[in-house]
A and B are shown apart, each in its own frame.
Chain A
Amino acid sequence: MRNDEPSVLKQLARLSTIGISLVAATAIGLLIGYGLDRWLGTSPWLTMIFTIFGIVAGFLNLFRELGLIQRNW
């Protein structure tokens, strides 16, 4: 079932996972940081730190998912 050249369907499936994974992780990080800041009153710091965490998490998720999908097809 494994071909040398992946079909259009599989390539589209692979590519269409990219965008939203990045954005969702960044947004979640931003929201957590913002919530913690409002709760603890440490205004810009936690927002910044958790946004950076979110961006890193987005890239980590992206590499992991794409790697797993590519390895198994």
Chain B
Amino acid sequence: MTTERPGVNEKGSGGKGIWALLAVLVLFNLTIGLLFAPRHVELHHAPIVQLPNFLAFLGVPGEYLPAHVTFTWLVMVILVVGGALGSRALQAVPGPLQNVAEVIIEAFHGLLDQMIGKQGRQFLPLVGTAGLFILTSNLLGNLPGFQAPTANWNTTVALALTVFVSYNYFGIRKHGLTNYLKHFCGPVWWLAPLMFPIEFIGHLARPVSLSVRLFGNIFGEESVIVILLSLAWLVMPYFIWLGVMLPLSLFTAVVQTFVFIMLTMVYIAGAVEEGHGEEHP
């Protein structure tokens, strides 16, 4: 027989307390839900920032500009203002804003050095802009009333096509057109008719997978939150949103940004590499 410790007792009563709390919460939910059940639920409320459609003469439909365009411009404004504030009046001993900017730039420099090597830092404008834009817009989507521009396929296709065109351009600039195309044909000449279509399809698949991955993750997570919050009169979904979905979507925002810039750097490294197509130990 073990001696009774007070901690055991407390733990047991704590367990019971949790069940009692859950039961009360469920009852509370049911009463509230039955009392205040709305007649209809609005799934889509208007976004906070709306611009009147001044591009109608170009054939853009609707009374307002599409939300993803407006929020893309909002993200651009945030980034430009942040960049201007961070780089204004540079000093040897940085102030707080310059400090933040330096930390971000150094993080990108570290990643570029690791993934691409010593020639990696020249690609900072592309990789850094893509990373900051995606991160800002993913995080913006978590604020109520804001939509992430990356939850729309058009935005992510634009990003992925930019990456696709520029890594091919970097490869051609580095190796020349014929040498770059020669890398598509594999190491042995008689394998070339087999390797060329395979490599070609593989390269075409890259922008598709990049754009679909980012769009699917952000859009799916946003849809789940919208549906969950449309049931917010049940009270419980609100706590699920605060406790589960909000941390999860913050996590997804960071991970998807990371994946996007990681793969961008992998593609650039593959196109720019010296001994292209051969395996390095």
Contact = CB atoms under 8 A, between A and B. Distances in A.
B92 to A, nearest CB: 25
| Chain A, interface residues (CB within 8 Å), range | 20 to 34
Interface residues of B, number: 25
Interface in B179-211: 197-199, 201-202, 204-206, 208-209
B202 A25 contact: yes
Interface of A: 1-2, 9-10, 12-13, 16-17, 20-21, 23-25, 27-29, 32, 50, 53-54, 56-58, 60-61, 64-65, 68-69, 72-73
Interface string B91-133: 0000000000000000000100011000000000000000000
Contact of B198 (A13, A60, A69): A60
22 contacts: A9-B254, A13-B262, A16-B213, A17-B259, A20-B209, A20-B213, A21-B205, A24-B206, A25-B205, A27-B205, A27-B208, A28-B208, A53-B197, A57-B201, A57-B205, A58-B202, A60-B198, A61-B205, A65-B263, A65-B266, A68-B269, A72-B115
B255 A28 contact: no
User: DSSP majority for the B interface?
Assistant: helix
A57 B197 CA distance: 9
B201 A54 contact: yes
User: DSSP majority for the A interface?
Assistant: helix
Given A24-B205, A57-B198, A61-B206, 9 more contacts: A10-B258, A13-B255, A16-B255, A16-B259, A23-B209, A25-B202, A29-B201, A68-B115, A68-B269
B198 A24 contact: no
B202 A57 contact: yes
Interface string B256-271: 0011001100100110
A23 B210 CA distance: 12
Nearest to A67: B279
B30 interface: no
Contacts of A56: 198
B212 to A, nearest CB: 6
